[in-house]
Amino acid sequence: MNVTPFWLAGRPATGDDELTVTHPYDGRVVGAAAVPTPAQVEEAVAAAAAVRAEAAALPLHVRAEALAHVSRRLAERSEEIARLITGENGKPLMWARTEVARAVSTFRFAAEETRRWSGAAQRLDTDPAAAGRMAYIARVPRGPVLGITPFNFPLNLAAHKVAPAIAVGAPIVVKPAPATPLSALLLGELLAETELPAGMFSVLPLPNDRAGGLVDDPRLPVVSFTGSVPVGWSIRDRVPRKHVTLELGGNGAAVVLPDADLDWAASRIALFSNYQAGQSCIAVQRVYVDRSVRDVFLPKLVDAVKGLVTGDPWDDATQVGPLVSEDAARRVESWVNEAVAAGARVLAGGTREGAAYAPTVLADVPADAKVARDEVFGPVLLVQPVDGVDEAFRLVNDSKFGLQAGVFTRNVDIAFRAFRELEVGGVVIGDVPSYRADQMPYGGVKDSGVGREGLRSAMIDYTEEKIMVLTGL
Ligand code: NAD
């Protein structure tokens, strides 16, 4: 079998072990990634630390050109890369192609932000004691970045770590999810084609139990983590003196109000509770529909969910494929069964076949059921009628998570009220909480995380202000 090398300070390398990559739909082996030895991990981190000053001094045009190159190459190889993602992750080709297109944009946006990256001058003579003085202010990298990524967007979430690091001139070590290392390794291949200094990037596929050493290493003072809630917060607790950003889980809610376009709302909610088999941190999990339109809306929603094309992820028409593993599908099944035993009604789906779980709609779910309180991370949607905006917003906020929320309304007053009152990082008006444009700030509150991604936001996170005072002006 072909073992894909990992990237050690800009060059391909093999270790003494490998991670086998299997395709979730049929369990067949689709590849393997070389795993670095402890000595090679040490070499990668030492190289990142050694190149720190050189990276920070790289001219903006060199960084921007490297980012633009990766964007172009992703576009040129897009179909091949989409197939790589479908192979390792199991998401339907339709969504894998979307992910590659987004990664093309992520790198392009980063190149554009790099060209705008600048310092500022502040006159200090607003105070007589500072007459003749001025401060020059620039953002400088906090240091090499450790980027830890999950399995569900194996390419674009790695892109969201790598691109802003390069943009600000910070070396980066990427640790991809063990189930899906191949797309991040492909990114390493494209970075190796650029003029960036060799030590500036490494991609190290490591099993979970070997990632802790990288987290602890003081030579990687920034940790940018995307993944599950318990792992994320345990990292922040473990290294309180590091700059840690966390993009964690959610249980996304959508509110459907009487003035909404109900056909649009039904089709969007149906699709985005099930895209990637619900394995997105901003998938719709909860729907609160105003009671006055429930009887019109609900049949439209259930029809839309039943109309989704499920099955083979390699089929161009498939909208919903398998979960990442049969274990993951069994967990979703047990959560749904638990809710049903407690009184929930199944309006669609509720069945499992191997790693595939049917798009499912539940009503009358008890508030304390796992499917209501936790992150399902599967194709399951809960519908609940509400009496007006007050109750809807109260229920949206009745969650330990706070990533994004969607409100289907055309009323601008309610839109601003949602913005003020909903305890989330992002409010989407007229669409699902699952909407994300890669150039906008993105992240959560409460258990869902801390810090923001989106190219400019991550560039600010990876840097801190440094000033120089000029005297005698
Ligand atoms: P996970 O937490 O199991 O793994 C994420 C990464 O952390 C992997 O690379 C894994 O190897 C690594 N890891 C695991 N244990 C570690 C440890 N002790 N120390 C350091 N690293 C460790 O998550 P997952 O199952 O791959 O991804 C699913 C989760 O990611 C969901 O909760 C989802 O909501 C979340 N997610 C969040 C966002 C967001 O932007 N907010 C985006 C995508 C996914």
Predicted confidence (pLDDT) per residue in 233-281, tens digit: 999 999 999 999 999 999 999 999 999 999 999 999 999 999 999 999 9
Concatenate the DSSP letters of all residues of 177-230 into one string: -TT--HHHHHHHHHHHTSSS-GGGEEE----GGGSHHHHH-TT--EEEEES-HH
Query: Is the Cα dihedral 268, 271, 276, 280 positive or negative?
Result: positive
Q: Nearest residue CA, atom 40 of ligand 1? A: 247
Alpha-carbon dihedral 81, 84, 88, 93, rounded to 10 degrees:
80
Query: Is residue 227 a contact partner of residue 250, using CB atoms and an 8 Å limit?
Result: no
Q: Nearest residue CA, atom 8 of ligand 1? A: 177
Determine the distance separating the centroid of ligand 1 and the alpha carbon of 116, expressed in angstroms: 32
Q: Is 208 in the pocket of ligand 1 (CB under 6 A)?
A: yes
Q: Is 213 in the pocket of ligand 1 (CB under 6 A)?
A: no
Q: Nearest residue CA, atom 42 of ligand 1? A: 281
Give the position, in ligand 1's atom list, of the atom nearest the Cα of 246.
41
Verify whether residue 195 is a known catalytic residue: no
Q: Is 211 in the pocket of ligand 1 (CB under 6 A)?
A: yes
Determine the distance separating the centroid of ligand 1 and the alpha carbon of 78, expressed in angstroms: 25
Sorted by sequence, the CB contacts under 8 Å of residue 102 that are 6+ apart come out as 156, 159, 438
Q: Is 178 in the pocket of ligand 1 (CB under 6 A)?
A: yes
Verify whether residue 113 is a known catalytic residue: no
Rounded to 5 degrees, φ, ψ at 447 are -65, -15
Complex confidence, ipTM: 0.96
- 264-284 in b/e burial notation, b at 16+ Cβ within 10 A? ebbbbbbbbbbbbbbbbbbbb
Task: Write the pLDDT tens digit of every residue in 404-437.
Answer: 999 999 999 999 999 999 999 999 999 999 999 9
Task: Say how many Å lie between the first and final Cα of the chain, rounded.
Answer: 68
Q: Name the residue of 174, 229, 281, 399 to mutate for ligand 1: max ligand atoms within 8 A of Cβ.
A: 281
In this prediction, residue 1 has a pLDDT band, given cuts at 50, 70 and 90, of: confident
Catalytic residue among 88, 99, 247, 333: 247
Mean pLDDT, the chain, rounded, equals 98
Residue type, 73: R
Q: Is 300 in the pocket of ligand 1 (CB under 6 A)?
A: no
Burial group, residue 319, by CB count within 10 angstroms (0-12, 13-18, 19+) = buried
Query: Is residue 205 a contact partner of residue 176, using CB atoms and an 8 Å limit?
Result: yes
Sorted by sequence, the CB contacts under 8 Å of residue 435 that are 6+ apart come out as 282, 404, 406, 428
Q: Nearest residue CA, atom 13 of ligand 1? A: 208
In this prediction, residue 68 has a pLDDT band, given cuts at 50, 70 and 90, of: very high
Task: Write the pLDDT tens digit of every residue in 3-42.
Answer: 999 999 999 999 999 999 999 999 999 999 999 999 999 9
Counting Cα atoms < 13 Å in the Cβ hemisphere of 2 gives 4
Q: Which two tokens stand for residue 249?
A: 């889980």
**Rounded distance, CA 28 to CA 249, Å?**
29
Largest CA distance in the chain: 78
pLDDT over 90 at 183, yes or no? yes
Rounded to 5 degrees, φ, ψ at 251 are -140, 70
Q: Is 375 in the pocket of ligand 1 (CB under 6 A)?
A: yes
Q: Name the residue of 41, 231, 237 to mutate for ligand 1: max ligand atoms within 8 A of Cβ.
A: 231
Task: Write the pLDDT tens digit of every residue in 436-463.
Answer: 999 999 999 999 999 999 999 999 999 9
Q: Which two tokens stand for residue 100?
A: 């590659």
Determine the distance separating the centroid of ligand 1 and the alpha carbon of 208, expressed in angstroms: 10
Question: Mean pLDDT across the stretch 395-404?
Answer: 98
Question: Mean pLDDT across the stretch 43-69?
Answer: 98
Give the position, in ligand 1's atom list, of the atom nearest the Cα of 250.
34
Query: Is residue 8 a contact partner of residue 191, using CB atoms and an 8 Å limit?
Result: no
Q: Is 103 in the pocket of ligand 1 (CB under 6 A)?
A: no
Q: Which two tokens stand for residue 296?
A: 């019109």
pLDDT over 80 at 208, yes or no? yes
**Rounded distance, CA 428 to CA 218, Å?**
38
pLDDT at 39: 98
Question: Mean pLDDT across the stretch 70-80?
Answer: 98
Determine the distance separating the centroid of ligand 1 and the alpha carbon of 180, expressed in angstroms: 12
Q: Is 251 in the pocket of ligand 1 (CB under 6 A)?
A: no
Q: Is 151 in the pocket of ligand 1 (CB under 6 A)?
A: yes
pLDDT at 32: 98
Other beta carbons less than 10 A from residue 91's beta carbon: 32
Task: Write the pLDDT tens digit of every residue in 329-378.
Answer: 999 999 999 999 999 999 999 999 999 999 999 999 999 999 999 999 99
Residue with tokens 């439209």: 300
Q: Is 441 in the pocket of ligand 1 (CB under 6 A)?
A: no
Sorted by sequence, the CB contacts under 8 Å of residue 160 that are 6+ apart come out as 106, 226, 438, 453, 458
Question: Mean pLDDT across the stretch 58-78?
Answer: 98
Counting Cα atoms < 13 Å in the Cβ hemisphere of 234 gives 7
Give the position, in ligand 1's atom list, of the atom nearest the Cα of 149.
9
Report percent pLDDT > 90 for the chain: 99
Q: Is 378 in the pocket of ligand 1 (CB under 6 A)?
A: no
